[in-house]
Amino acid sequence: MIDPTIFENKTAAYYTLGCKLNFAETSAIGRQLMNAGVMRARKGQKADICVINTCSVTELADKKGRQAIRRMIHQHPDAFIVVTGCYA
């Protein structure tokens, strides 16, 4: 069992690339984290958790996924980075 205090006062940022399924999956992850007590980070706020849902249908999508990962690491240097989706 996960200690519920792990997620107290934590925030998350989300970035989604790709199809409607990826957006639905990101929404589902967000709801699960919210149910665990994680709040969505406001614009400009450092997040504790970053979820990047990637697409890998094209070479350009791969490139955008890599860019998104680097950007999140730069913007949220202390965050736990989660990469999911086709590129992961």
Say what percent of the chain tops pLDDT 90. Answer: 88
Question: Which CATH number is 4-85's, of 3.90.1530.10, 3.40.50.11370, 2.40.50.1020, 2.60.40.10?
Answer: 3.40.50.11370
How many residues does this entry show for the chain?
88
Q: Tell me if residue 64 falls in helix, strand or coil.
A: helix
Please give the Cα distance from 63 to 36 (Å, whole number): 32
Q: Please report the pLDDT score of residue 1 as a whole number.
A: 59
Segments making up each domain of the chain, as ranges = 4-85
Residues 6+ positions from 12 with CB-CB distance below 8 Å: 30, 33, 38, 39, 40, 41, 47, 48, 49, 50, 51
Q: Average pLDDT in the 3-30 region?
A: 94
Farthest-apart Cα atoms in the chain, separation? 41
Please give the Cα distance from 30 to 36 (Å, whole number): 10
User: How many other CB atoms are found less than 10 A from the CB of residue 66?
Assistant: 13
pTM value is: 0.92
**pLDDT tens digits, one per residue of 30-86:** 999 999 999 999 999 999 999 999 999 999 999 999 999 999 999 999 999 999 999
